[in-house]
Structure 1
Amino acid sequence: MSALKWGQGKGKGAAGPALFGLPLSFDHFVLPRLLRRPVRILARLGEGEFQAPRFSAAILSAVLVASSSAYGAYLGGEIDGVVQGITARTGFAVDQVKVVGNRQTSEIDILDRLELDGWTSLIGFNAEAARERISGLPWIEVAAVRKVYPHTLEVRVEEREAFALWQQGDELSVIEKDGAVIAPFSGGSQTQLPLLVGSGAPAKAPDFLVKVEKYPELAARVKGYIRIGDRRWDMRLDNGVTVKLPEDGEDQAIAALVKMDKDDGLLSRDIAAVDMRLSDRVVVQLSPEAATQRQAALNEKPKGLKRKPETKI
């Protein structure tokens, strides 16, 4: 302590410590603990008493070379690759990926968008850029990519909600409730979605399907909703019967159809179509087989009764 309390324990003529010939003595002044050793070394260096550690020149040369290389990589735009290479080989290489929330999107598609190469460092990995790439997949609505140190990536996604299939010509697409196309039809569970056919169908379908779904037994039998001239609907049933609804009063027409089917089994008969476009009548079109049988029955001549002989009085 006495060596650091400059000005104590020395006569007035005693010389205090000096650094490179400059006196550093101050009466009753004590250096902070962190500065004591560096100051001693500098003082010894100024007096010629300090000897550098062995290999110090080699160490300083290595530091100089490494610094120069790092600066050159920075100027050449390769610093990210250097960081990736060093950190990946020191225990931070991504070796596990967790994907949560995907149903329609395959994990392979998500992994492709992460662009991992087997030696990708978690430290240098750009999670935001990966999130943007994953968000570009057709079914993805929201994506989040999180680093879990030392070597795990966690991907969470929320997918868009499928509402129906939309057929335009030969194209069949999966759409959202607002009519936005999600992706081409690919089979699987998508076959359970309602089928919409025709121009303008997606815009009108949400309200119309609510009306049909009030009658679950009828809704379960509908295989396709066909928009005619963007004015009205036809419904194609599972047995091939087509129900032609009017432009106005869809609710009343559907209710009347359900009642006729319940009372008379209309939709289970050998018919091809039920035309409800006229407000004052329902027209039923027979199937080709039923029409042939009916025509044969009409053409058959009825057997005449034998005329009784006249009786004269």
Structure 2
Amino acid sequence: MSALSGKISGRSGHRAEASYAGADERRVLPRPLRRVVRFTVALATGRIYIPRHIGTVSTFAFLGVVGLYGMSVGGHTEVVAQSVTASAGFAIEDVRVSGNEQTSEIDILQMLGLDGTTSLVALDIEAARKKLAELPWVEYAEVRKVYPKTIEVMLKERQAFGIWQHGDELSLIERNGKIIAPLRDSKFATLPLFVGRDAETAAASFEQELAGWPELKNRVRAYVRVAGRRWDLHLGNGVVLKLPERNVDQALAVLSRLEAEQGILERDIAAIDLRLGDRTTVQLTAGAMDRRKEALEARSKALKKAGVDS
């Protein structure tokens, strides 16, 4: 029994060694290459069905991908998208603008670059809004698409507070002193005029300080900033009021009293100096000075004549 077992085990051991040796001699391809080889064999033997015109479709797809890549590299993607979508019926034909009093619709169209072929689909809303915000009068802009061919533009414009003269230039300014645009016409002639360095930034606070003196404020033609510290008020009749750096209300109270008692602002004077709290200086005009001189000379002659006669 033991001898039989020995024979059997010897034969099986020999076969196992032979199979291991065969496995070692056989080459095994990596897994990805096995799939490629199996697909190639199946394709060659006709076991895989290839639809008709697959080559044509693949060629056009390849050319399309290459074209898109070329447009992307060359920066022409937006132009092509504009042209295609506009031809498809999405060209902007109507622009509705609201909130514009000083900004013309022509300026809006030019800033947006609308030429009749601009596509609504390809229009960049955020870029359009930023462009409109560059217009002088525009404080804030909103742009909305209304398919298929309309855009709505809603503006919030800046408010002109006064006119600032700096050198030979006249500019419209906001209440905070920021320049809006150069003054081009006379429709803003009723706004107050502020003259001098730093006048635009100090204008609003001083104008508010004069709110308690409405009668005087209505007579002011120009506010002139002197040395960045104080103001001279130029009235419509040519009189100049020289105000102090501080205690402006106190100086205006003195002026109001003089006007009530003597009508000083209606007299033939050139300037009233209110800079000193303990006294007020009045400067006569050149004509008034001549007339006063003539009156004094005539009075002196009359006194002399009266003395001689007596």
Where 2:212 maps in the other structure, the secondary structure is coil
1:306 Cα deviation from its structure 2 partner:
6.7
Aligned match of 2:289: 291
Residues of 2 paired with 1:288 and 1:172: CA distance?
30
Residues of 2 paired with 1:240 and 1:67: CA distance?
83
Where 1:299 maps in the other structure, the secondary structure is helix
Given candidates 238, 241, 247, the residue that maps to 1:240 is: 238
Given candidates 154, 157, 164, the residue that maps to 2:155 is: 157
Aligned match of 2:70: 76
Residues of 1 paired with 2:127 and 2:208: CA distance?
41
Output the TM-score relative to the length of structure 2: 0.74
- Distance verdict in 2 for CA 1:276–1:106, change over 3 Å: same
Aligned match of 1:95: 93
Higher alpha-carbon deviation: 150-159 or 277-286: 277-286
Given candidates 203, 206, 209, the residue that maps to 1:205 is: 203
CA-to-partner distance for each residue in 1:129-161, whole Å, 9 max, x for gaps?
111111111221111111111111111111222
Output the TM-score relative to the length of structure 1: 0.73
- Distance verdict in 2 for CA 1:130–1:304, change over 3 Å: same
Map 1:263-302 to 2 at 5 A: 263-300=261-298, 301-302=301-302
Where 2:188 maps in the other structure, the secondary structure is helix
Aligned match of 1:121: 119
Give 1 or 2 for the bigger CA radius of gyration: 2
Map 1:28-47 to 2 at 5 A: none
CA contact (8 A) 2:144 2:152 kept: yes
Where 1:188 maps in the other structure, the secondary structure is coil
- Distance verdict in 2 for CA 1:86–1:162, change over 3 Å: same
1:70 Cα deviation from its structure 2 partner:
4.3
Letter in 1 for 2:276: L
1:67 Cα deviation from its structure 2 partner:
4.5
Where 1:295 maps in the other structure, the secondary structure is helix
Map 1:126-145 to 2 at 5 A: 126-145=124-143
CA-to-partner distance for each residue in 1:180-221, whole Å, 9 max, x for gaps?
222222223322221111112223222211121222221111
Aligned match of 1:304: 306
CA contact (8 A) 1:233 1:244 kept: yes
Count, aligned residues = 254
Aligned match of 2:108: 110
CA contact (8 A) 1:273 1:285 kept: yes
Residues of 1 paired with 2:87 and 2:60: CA distance?
18
Where 1:192 maps in the other structure, the secondary structure is coil
Residues of 1 paired with 2:309 and 2:192: CA distance?
64
Where 1:189 maps in the other structure, the secondary structure is coil
Q: Of Structure 1 and Structure 2, which has the larger fraction of its residues in helix?
A: 2
1:169 Cα deviation from its structure 2 partner:
1.2
Q: Is 1:186 paired with 2:189? A: no
Where 2:97 maps in the other structure, the secondary structure is strand
CA-to-partner distance for each residue in 1:59-103, whole Å, 9 max, x for gaps?
995x66765564344212234333322322232111111111122
Letter in 2 for 1:125: L
Residues of 2 paired with 1:262 and 1:76: CA distance?
84
- Distance verdict in 2 for CA 1:202–1:81, change over 3 Å: closer
Residues of 2 paired with 1:136 and 1:163: CA distance?
20
- Distance verdict in 2 for CA 1:67–1:94, change over 3 Å: farther
Residues of 1 paired with 2:99 and 2:129: CA distance?
14
Aligned match of 1:221: 219
Given candidates 227, 230, 252, the residue that maps to 2:250 is: 252
